[in-house]
Amino acid sequence: MHGGIDHRFSVLFVCLGNICRSPMAEGAFRAVAQERGLACLVDSAGTASYHVGQQPDPRAIGVASRQGIDIATQAARQVERDDFYRFSHIIAMDRANLEALRGKAPRDGTARLAMLLDAVEGRRGEPVADPYYGDLAAFETAWSIINLGANAWVDKLLREGTRQTV
Ligand code: 4NP
Protein backbone atom coordinates (compact mmCIF):
# COMPACT_ATOMS: atom_id res chain seq x y z
CA MET A 1 0.00 0.00 0.00
CA HIS A 2 1.33 3.44 -0.91
CA GLY A 3 0.02 6.83 0.08
CA GLY A 4 0.80 10.31 1.24
CA ILE A 5 1.05 11.43 4.82
CA ASP A 6 -1.80 13.47 6.24
CA HIS A 7 -4.42 11.52 4.34
CA ARG A 8 -8.03 11.77 5.38
CA PHE A 9 -9.24 8.93 3.22
CA SER A 10 -8.07 5.40 2.58
CA VAL A 11 -9.60 3.42 -0.23
CA LEU A 12 -9.49 -0.32 -0.91
CA PHE A 13 -10.65 -1.53 -4.33
CA VAL A 14 -12.02 -5.07 -4.41
CA CYS A 15 -12.81 -7.58 -7.15
CA LEU A 16 -12.86 -11.38 -7.21
CA GLY A 17 -9.27 -12.34 -8.04
CA ASN A 18 -7.33 -9.06 -7.47
CA ILE A 19 -5.51 -9.62 -10.77
CA CYS A 20 -7.69 -7.71 -13.28
CA ARG A 21 -10.21 -5.05 -12.25
CA SER A 22 -9.13 -3.97 -8.76
CA PRO A 23 -5.42 -3.65 -9.69
CA MET A 24 -6.48 -1.41 -12.61
CA ALA A 25 -8.71 0.56 -10.23
CA GLU A 26 -5.86 0.96 -7.74
CA GLY A 27 -3.55 2.24 -10.49
CA ALA A 28 -6.11 4.54 -12.12
CA PHE A 29 -7.32 6.00 -8.81
CA ARG A 30 -3.79 6.61 -7.52
CA ALA A 31 -2.89 8.49 -10.71
CA VAL A 32 -6.04 10.65 -10.65
CA ALA A 33 -5.72 11.33 -6.90
CA GLN A 34 -2.13 12.48 -7.39
CA GLU A 35 -3.06 14.69 -10.35
CA ARG A 36 -5.95 16.28 -8.47
CA GLY A 37 -4.14 16.68 -5.13
CA LEU A 38 -6.15 14.18 -3.07
CA ALA A 39 -3.95 12.63 -0.36
CA CYS A 40 -5.25 9.12 0.04
CA LEU A 41 -4.00 5.64 0.88
CA VAL A 42 -4.87 3.26 -1.95
CA ASP A 43 -4.78 -0.52 -2.10
CA SER A 44 -6.63 -3.42 -3.71
CA ALA A 45 -7.63 -6.96 -2.74
CA GLY A 46 -9.75 -9.90 -3.90
CA THR A 47 -12.68 -11.63 -2.23
CA ALA A 48 -11.19 -14.98 -3.37
CA SER A 49 -7.78 -16.46 -2.68
CA TYR A 50 -7.04 -18.21 -6.02
CA HIS A 51 -4.43 -15.73 -7.19
CA VAL A 52 -2.81 -14.60 -3.93
CA GLY A 53 0.79 -13.47 -4.47
CA GLN A 54 0.41 -13.14 -8.25
CA GLN A 55 1.13 -10.12 -10.40
CA PRO A 56 -1.84 -8.56 -12.21
CA ASP A 57 -2.94 -10.26 -15.45
CA PRO A 58 -0.53 -9.31 -18.31
CA ARG A 59 -3.47 -7.82 -20.23
CA ALA A 60 -4.31 -5.52 -17.30
CA ILE A 61 -0.63 -4.54 -17.00
CA GLY A 62 -0.57 -3.78 -20.75
CA VAL A 63 -3.72 -1.66 -20.79
CA ALA A 64 -2.55 0.37 -17.78
CA SER A 65 0.93 0.77 -19.19
CA ARG A 66 -0.45 2.29 -22.40
CA GLN A 67 -1.94 4.99 -20.16
CA GLY A 68 1.45 5.54 -18.54
CA ILE A 69 0.48 3.73 -15.35
CA ASP A 70 2.60 0.93 -13.90
CA ILE A 71 0.62 -1.72 -12.04
CA ALA A 72 3.16 -4.53 -12.53
CA THR A 73 4.56 -4.14 -9.01
CA GLN A 74 1.26 -5.09 -7.38
CA ALA A 75 0.77 -8.53 -5.81
CA ALA A 76 -2.66 -10.07 -5.25
CA ARG A 77 -3.96 -10.50 -1.73
CA GLN A 78 -7.27 -11.49 -0.21
CA VAL A 79 -9.52 -9.15 1.75
CA GLU A 80 -8.90 -9.54 5.49
CA ARG A 81 -10.73 -8.61 8.66
CA ASP A 82 -8.48 -5.63 9.43
CA ASP A 83 -9.39 -4.02 6.10
CA PHE A 84 -12.84 -3.21 7.47
CA TYR A 85 -11.21 -1.01 10.17
CA ARG A 86 -8.15 0.30 8.29
CA PHE A 87 -9.93 1.73 5.25
CA SER A 88 -12.46 4.56 5.18
CA HIS A 89 -13.95 3.18 1.95
CA ILE A 90 -14.02 -0.31 0.42
CA ILE A 91 -15.13 -0.13 -3.20
CA ALA A 92 -16.35 -3.25 -5.01
CA MET A 93 -16.32 -3.78 -8.76
CA ASP A 94 -19.60 -5.71 -8.96
CA ARG A 95 -22.61 -6.79 -6.93
CA ALA A 96 -21.18 -10.24 -6.11
CA ASN A 97 -18.03 -8.61 -4.70
CA LEU A 98 -20.17 -6.24 -2.63
CA GLU A 99 -22.27 -9.11 -1.25
CA ALA A 100 -19.09 -11.07 -0.42
CA LEU A 101 -17.75 -8.01 1.42
CA ARG A 102 -21.00 -7.66 3.37
CA GLY A 103 -20.66 -11.30 4.35
CA LYS A 104 -17.08 -10.80 5.58
CA ALA A 105 -17.59 -7.44 7.32
CA PRO A 106 -17.32 -7.52 11.13
CA ARG A 107 -20.38 -6.04 12.86
CA ASP A 108 -18.38 -3.09 14.14
CA GLY A 109 -16.35 -2.55 10.96
CA THR A 110 -15.96 1.14 10.17
CA ALA A 111 -15.28 1.11 6.40
CA ARG A 112 -18.05 2.32 4.12
CA LEU A 113 -18.91 -0.23 1.43
CA ALA A 114 -19.88 0.86 -2.07
CA MET A 115 -19.56 -0.02 -5.74
CA LEU A 116 -17.18 1.75 -8.12
CA LEU A 117 -19.86 3.19 -10.37
CA ASP A 118 -21.98 4.43 -7.42
CA ALA A 119 -20.07 7.72 -7.65
CA VAL A 120 -20.90 8.15 -11.36
CA GLU A 121 -24.02 10.21 -12.07
CA GLY A 122 -26.75 7.95 -13.51
CA ARG A 123 -24.76 4.72 -13.16
CA ARG A 124 -25.26 3.83 -9.49
CA GLY A 125 -25.31 0.07 -8.92
CA GLU A 126 -23.84 -0.81 -12.32
CA PRO A 127 -21.03 -3.40 -12.31
CA VAL A 128 -17.61 -3.35 -13.93
CA ALA A 129 -17.88 -6.52 -16.03
CA ASP A 130 -15.20 -9.13 -15.38
CA PRO A 131 -12.77 -9.10 -18.37
CA TYR A 132 -10.86 -12.23 -17.27
CA TYR A 133 -12.48 -14.60 -19.77
CA GLY A 134 -12.75 -11.91 -22.43
CA ASP A 135 -10.34 -10.56 -25.05
CA LEU A 136 -8.10 -7.53 -25.00
CA ALA A 137 -11.06 -5.35 -25.98
CA ALA A 138 -12.77 -6.42 -22.75
CA PHE A 139 -9.76 -5.11 -20.82
CA GLU A 140 -9.82 -1.82 -22.77
CA THR A 141 -13.52 -1.44 -21.96
CA ALA A 142 -12.93 -2.30 -18.30
CA TRP A 143 -10.12 0.27 -18.13
CA SER A 144 -12.25 3.10 -19.49
CA ILE A 145 -15.15 2.32 -17.12
CA ILE A 146 -12.74 1.99 -14.19
CA ASN A 147 -11.11 5.31 -15.11
CA LEU A 148 -14.54 6.95 -15.15
CA GLY A 149 -15.26 5.53 -11.70
CA ALA A 150 -11.84 6.52 -10.33
CA ASN A 151 -12.35 10.13 -11.47
CA ALA A 152 -15.82 10.23 -9.94
CA TRP A 153 -14.56 8.89 -6.58
CA VAL A 154 -11.73 11.42 -6.47
CA ASP A 155 -14.31 14.19 -7.14
CA LYS A 156 -16.58 12.84 -4.42
CA LEU A 157 -13.82 12.51 -1.82
CA LEU A 158 -12.46 15.98 -2.63
CA ARG A 159 -15.98 17.37 -2.06
CA GLU A 160 -16.43 15.39 1.18
CA GLY A 161 -12.94 16.35 2.35
CA THR A 162 -13.51 20.05 2.00
CA ARG A 163 -16.73 19.79 4.01
CA GLN A 164 -14.98 18.17 6.97
CA THR A 165 -13.02 19.87 9.69
CA VAL A 166 -9.97 18.03 10.96
P1 4NP B 1 -10.76 -9.98 -11.34
O2 4NP B 1 -10.87 -11.07 -12.51
O3 4NP B 1 -11.79 -10.37 -10.30
O4 4NP B 1 -11.11 -8.70 -12.02
O5 4NP B 1 -9.35 -10.04 -10.83
C6 4NP B 1 -10.84 -12.45 -12.28
C7 4NP B 1 -9.64 -13.08 -12.09
C8 4NP B 1 -9.61 -14.44 -11.89
C9 4NP B 1 -10.78 -15.18 -11.89
C10 4NP B 1 -12.00 -14.53 -12.07
C11 4NP B 1 -12.02 -13.16 -12.26
N12 4NP B 1 -10.76 -16.58 -11.72
O13 4NP B 1 -11.81 -17.20 -11.74
O14 4NP B 1 -9.67 -17.15 -11.53
Residue 21 appears among annotated catalytic residues: yes
Task: Tell me if 41 sits within 8 A of 7, measured CB to CB.
Answer: yes
Domain assignment present for residue 1? The answer is no
What spacing in Å lies between the alpha carbon of 15 and ligand 1's midpoint?
7
Residue 166 lies in a domain: no
CB 111 within 8 A of CB 82: no
Range of the domain at 60: 9-159
The domain that holds 95 is classified in CATH as: 3.40.50.2300
pLDDT band at residue 4 under the 50/70/90 scheme: very low
Q: Is residue 2 part of a domain?
A: no
Confidence class for position 163, pLDDT limits 50, 70, 90:
low
The C-alpha torsion from 63 through 64 and 70 to 75, rounded to 10°, is: -80
Which pLDDT does position 46 carry in this prediction? 98
Count how many domains the chain has.
Answer: 1
In a domain, 3, yes or no: no
The DSSP-derived string for 93-153 is SSHHHHHHHHHH--TT--PEEEEGGGGSTT-TT------TTS-HHHHHHHHHHHHHHHHHH
- Nearest one of 1, 20, 21 to 11, comparing CA atoms: 1
Return d(Cα 49, Cα 84) in angstroms, integer: 17
Q: Which of 77-81, 134-138, 148-152, 160-164 has the lowest mean pLDDT?
A: 160-164
Residue 3: is its pLDDT beyond 50? no
Q: Calculate the average pLDDT of the chain.
A: 94
Helix (H, G, I), strand (E, B) or coil at 25: helix
Q: What is the mean pLDDT of residues 106-130?
A: 97
- Indicate which residue of 15, 43, 59, 83 is catalytic: 15
How sure is the predictor about 8, in pLDDT bands with cuts at 50, 70 and 90?
A: confident
Note whether residue 4 is domain-resident: no
pLDDT in tens, 95-113: 999 999 999 999 999 999 9
Domain membership of residue 100 (yes or no) is yes
Residue 154 is assigned to a structural domain of this protein: yes
Q: Is 23 in the pocket of ligand 1 (CB under 6 A)?
A: no
Q: Give, in degrees to the nearest 5, the angle at Cα 143 between 119 and 4.
A: 65
Q: By alpha-carbon position, which residue is closest to atom 13 of ligand 1? A: 17
Residue 164 has pLDDT above 70, yes or no: no
For a substitution probing ligand 1, which of 57, 93, 132, 133 has the most ligand atoms within 8 Å of its CB?
Answer: 132
Residue 165 covered by a domain: no
**Percentage of residues of the chain with pLDDT beyond 70:** 94
Per residue in 45-84, pLDDT tens? Answer: 999 999 999 999 999 999 999 999 999 999 999 999 999 9
